[in-house]
């Protein structure tokens, strides 16, 4: 007899991983998810990638936190054995753990900071930043947007007055030309990549610009493997051609844009022949790409952290924005600027104010009138000084200025650059409170650990890369004595003197709509009913007639190429670029505890050009040691013929070989994003295993 499908309860929710925000139906039996199914969401049209399809079992991993933990007296703050990670902790009651957590957070505001999460809901992000701003009374609150698209948002706010995408990924179906630069959607936004491939099959022309090379190359009209860190040189050379050959949209420029003359003059110094040896792309190819993009009736630019994670990340984004604007490729069908957001709710967490210089809806803390609105709504004076960013918090902790932190769902002990520095900073705090579902590398350094809710155990709203707010619904119960994140934040708030009594996410969302005009017209009931609503005002394509700037026009800002902080030399002859792999997500805290995903990609690998590997005398699978000026890791060698010689890639999700031990903490001066994409390293053969 054929096996009968298991009887399940079906809950409509979302995938917990990337910013695509695929809609999912969870099939639940005996309190556990047994399978998932893609729903007909705008962003996924029933599709799911391997993470959405198989990465749902992590909440039941044997190391799931189910009780509050307090560090044993005198236990050293150090990374713990993954097989027995609880050695240095004892279990505690919620009252004891919360009292202890709150007591250590009663300090002068400048000694306190909070890191919220792009994986949590909009309501959690909003309450977390409100707690830091009103309970801690500081703007020292940030989250991992600092490490992914801070520079894109800085340039977008400056250029077009809005930090979000101007058109959804699905608009590639209407684009004549699609540019993917500094992004690897096949690995990092796989369902979005499927939309791009479909568009190419229907006739769109694709330009891929990626120093590493990637799977989308075989769909591309032009595949530009430019030299790592020379983005501005390449983009300004393209702009040079468009200006010199008068290929720009003169009507759009005249009506919608300021600063064209200064930009045109600036890019005169970037002739393709001059830039070709700098960026490694032939002048004729630069010209061909410029003509293709500028003469298209519609074109979209999608970019990722290959653009943003540089000391010149803001300049990279400025050049991309200028490219789209002078060709009129914004505000029209099939056209737009789309920084592919990383985590599932990094857009929503940023909108909700998990940013040290911005209140919710990107209202600057330093602008008195805007701050006053929140002071009136929240009933207390707020700090007018922008707070510390992620990497600045670590520096302040090591310098002794920051003494206590509250970290909810982030893992800076894996995601920050120069991990020895970041881990020393976290370990050196007087008091570290971590709220998470596992004993992450960060939680291992905590004084108190608060067991929280996994994605499928909570209800909340989440905003995907397309600005689409969608409902995530609780599908399974919390294990043991783990609690809802909203409950934990409120319990801490009460112990810090705030009289908060939100009944649940609906009430928090209702408050958000009163202080965030971008949520105008959206209610919890509508979200429940419709499942997803695009902001603002349901518009998928923005800025068809004006930009949200003072004069309604976009501003062109010339980009100057700032060289990467490190280049190769005799001691460190390779450039390391870091990123993700298809099967794992971010620091691996969820996917590495998901059985299928970890079996598919169980070990750390250092990916190297085969000729470089041969020169080192190492075969595939042989052990390599990789060293930078900041640290070293050891991992298996993996040849990749797409990588140019001299470039090395490593994913940053493996705790046993953490790539960020090597990365450079130098910051983009404007966005304070670290240069995670360019670090000088050397490789040493360790012999076969
Ligand atoms: Fe989940 Fe992203 Fe994959 Fe969709 S593309 S299933 S949101 S990881």
How does pLDDT run across 172-192, given as a tens digit for each residue? Answer: 999 999 999 999 999 999 999
Dihedrals φ, ψ of 257, to 5°? -135, 145
The Cα–Cα gap between 103 and 101 comes to: 6
Q: Does the structure show a pLDDT above 50 at 688?
A: no
Which residues have CB under 6 Å of ligand 1?
15, 17-18, 20-22, 44, 48-49, 51-52, 189-191
CA distances in angstroms from 455 to 22, 120, 130, 344, 579, listed in the order given: 14, 8, 22, 11, 23
Q: Extract the tokens encoding 508.
A: 């928090």
Helix (H, G, I), strand (E, B) or coil at 654: coil
115 Cα distance to chain centroid: 14
Q: Extract the tokens encoding 316.
A: 């990279």
Distance 547 CA to ligand 1 centre (A): 31
Q: Does the structure show a pLDDT above 60 at 304?
A: yes
How does pLDDT run across 87-100, given as a tens digit for each residue? Answer: 999 999 999 999 99
Distance 351 CA to ligand 1 centre (A): 21
* Percent above pLDDT 90 for the chain: 90
pLDDT of amino acid 572: 98
Distance 530 CA to ligand 1 centre (A): 21
Across the chain, mean pLDDT equals 95
- Position 3 confidence tier, pLDDT thresholds 50, 70, 90: low
Identify the H or E element spanning 29: strand 23-29
Q: What's the CA angle centered on 504, arms 498 and 508, to 5 degrees? A: 65
How does pLDDT run across 257-299, given as a tens digit for each residue? Answer: 999 999 999 999 999 999 999 999 999 999 999 999 999 999 9
What's the number of CA atoms in the CB half-sphere (13 Å) around residue 608? 31
Distance 21 CA to ligand 1 centre (A): 6
Nearest CA to ligand 1 atom 3: 49
Q: Extract the tokens encoding 441.
A: 């590398």
User: Which of 13, 16, 18 best tests ligand 1's pocket when mutated (most atoms within 8 Å of CB)?
Assistant: 18
How does pLDDT run across 419-466, given as a tens digit for each residue? Answer: 999 999 999 999 999 999 999 999 999 999 999 999 999 999 999 999
Distance 38 CA to ligand 1 centre (A): 10
Position in ligand 1 atom list of the atom nearest CA 15: 1
* Percent above pLDDT 70 for the chain: 99
pLDDT of amino acid 149: 82
Distance 475 CA to ligand 1 centre (A): 18
User: Which of 13, 14, 15 best tests ligand 1's pocket when mutated (most atoms within 8 Å of CB)?
Assistant: 15
Nearest CA to ligand 1 atom 4: 22
Strands (DSSP E) found in 295-395: 299-303, 336-339, 358-359, 363-364
Neighbours of 629 (CB within 10 A): 14
The Cα–Cα gap between 354 and 390 comes to: 11
């Amino acid at each position: 007899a054929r096996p009968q499908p298991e009887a399940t309860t079906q809950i409509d929710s979302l995938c917990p991983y990337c910013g695509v925000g695929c809609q999912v139906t969870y099939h639940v039996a005996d309190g556990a998810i047994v399978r998932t199914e893609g729903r007909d969401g705008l962003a996924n049209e029933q599709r799911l990638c391997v993470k959405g399809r198989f990465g749902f079992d992590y909440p039941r991993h044997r190391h799931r936190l189910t009780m509050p933990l307090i560090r044993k007296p005198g236990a050293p703050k150090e990374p713990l054995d993954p097989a027995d990670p609880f050695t240095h902790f004892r279990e505690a009651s919620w009252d004891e753990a919360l009292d202890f957590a709150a007591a250590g957070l009663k300090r002068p505001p400048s000694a306190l900071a909070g890191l919220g999460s792009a994986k949590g809901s909009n309501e959690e992000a909003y309450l977390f930043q409100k707690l830091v701003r009103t309970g801690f009374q500081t703007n020292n609150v940030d989250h991992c947007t600092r490490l992914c698209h801070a520079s894109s948002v800085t340039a977008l706010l400056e250029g077009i007055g809005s930090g979000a995408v101007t058109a959804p990924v699905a608009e590639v179906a209407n684009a004549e030309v699609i540019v993917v630069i500094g992004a690897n959607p096949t690995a990092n936004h796989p369902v979005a990549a499927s939309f791009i491939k479909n568009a190419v099959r229907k006739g769109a022309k694709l330009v891929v610009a990626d120093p590493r090379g990637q799977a989308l190359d075989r769909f591309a009209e032009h595949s530009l493997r430019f030299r790592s860190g020379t983005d501005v040189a390449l983009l300004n050379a393209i702009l040079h051609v468009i200006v010199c050959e008068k290929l720009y949209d003169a009507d759009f420029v005249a009506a919608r844009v300021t600063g064209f003359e200064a930009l045109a003059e600036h890019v005169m110094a970037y002739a393709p022949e001059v830039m070709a040896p700098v960026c490694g792309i032939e002048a004729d190819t630069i010209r061909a790409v410029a003509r293709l993009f500028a003469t298209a009736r519609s074109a979209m630019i999608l970019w990722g952290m290959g653009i943003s994670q540089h000391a010149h990340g803001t300049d990279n984004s400025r050049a991309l924005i200028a490219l789209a604007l002078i060709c009129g490729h914004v505000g029209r069908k099939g056209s737009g600027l789309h920084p592919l957001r990383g985590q599932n709710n990094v857009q929503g967490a940023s909108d909700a104010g998990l940013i040290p210089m911005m209140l919710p809806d990107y209202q600057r803390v330093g602008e008195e009138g805007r701050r006053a609105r929140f002071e009136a709504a929240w009933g207390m004076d707020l700090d007018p000084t922008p707070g510390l960013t992620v990497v600045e918090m670590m520096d302040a902790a090591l310098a002794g200025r920051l003494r206590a932190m509250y970290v909810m769902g982030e893992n800076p002990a894996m995601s920050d650059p120069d991990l020895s520095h970041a881990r020393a900073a976290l370990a050196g705090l007087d008091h570290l409170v971590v709220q998470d579902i596992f004993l992450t590398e960060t939680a291992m350094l905590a004084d108190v650990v608060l067991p929280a809710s996994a994605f499928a155990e909570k209800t909340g709203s989440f905003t995907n890369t397309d600005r689409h707010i969608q409902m995530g619904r609780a599908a399974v119960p919390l294990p043991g004595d783990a609690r809802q994140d909203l409950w934990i934040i409120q319990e801490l708030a009460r112990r810090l003197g705030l009289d908060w009594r939100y009944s649940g996410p609906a009430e928090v969302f209702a408050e958000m709509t009163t202080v965030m005009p971008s949520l105008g017209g959206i209610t919890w009931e509508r979200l429940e009913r419709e499942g997803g609503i695009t902001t603002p005002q349901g518009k998928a394509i923005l800025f068809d007639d004006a930009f949200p700037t003072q004069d309604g026009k976009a501003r062109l800002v010339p980009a100057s190429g700032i060289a990467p902080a490190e280049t190769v030399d005799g001691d460190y002859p390779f450039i390391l670029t870091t990123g993700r792999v298809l099967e794992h997500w971010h620091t691996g805290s969820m996917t590495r505890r998901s059985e299928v995903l970890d079996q598919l990609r169980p070990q750390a690998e250092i990916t190297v050009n085969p000729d470089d590997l041969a020169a080192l005398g190492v075969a595939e699978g042989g052990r390599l040691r990789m060293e930078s000026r900041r640290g070293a890791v050891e991992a298996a060698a993996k040849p990749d013929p797409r990588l140019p010689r001299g470039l090395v890639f490593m994913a940053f999700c493996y705790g046993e070989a953490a790539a960020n031990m090597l990365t450079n903490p130098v910051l983009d001066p404007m966005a304070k994003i670290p240069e995670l994409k360019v670090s000088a390293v050397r490789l040493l053969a360790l012999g076969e295993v």
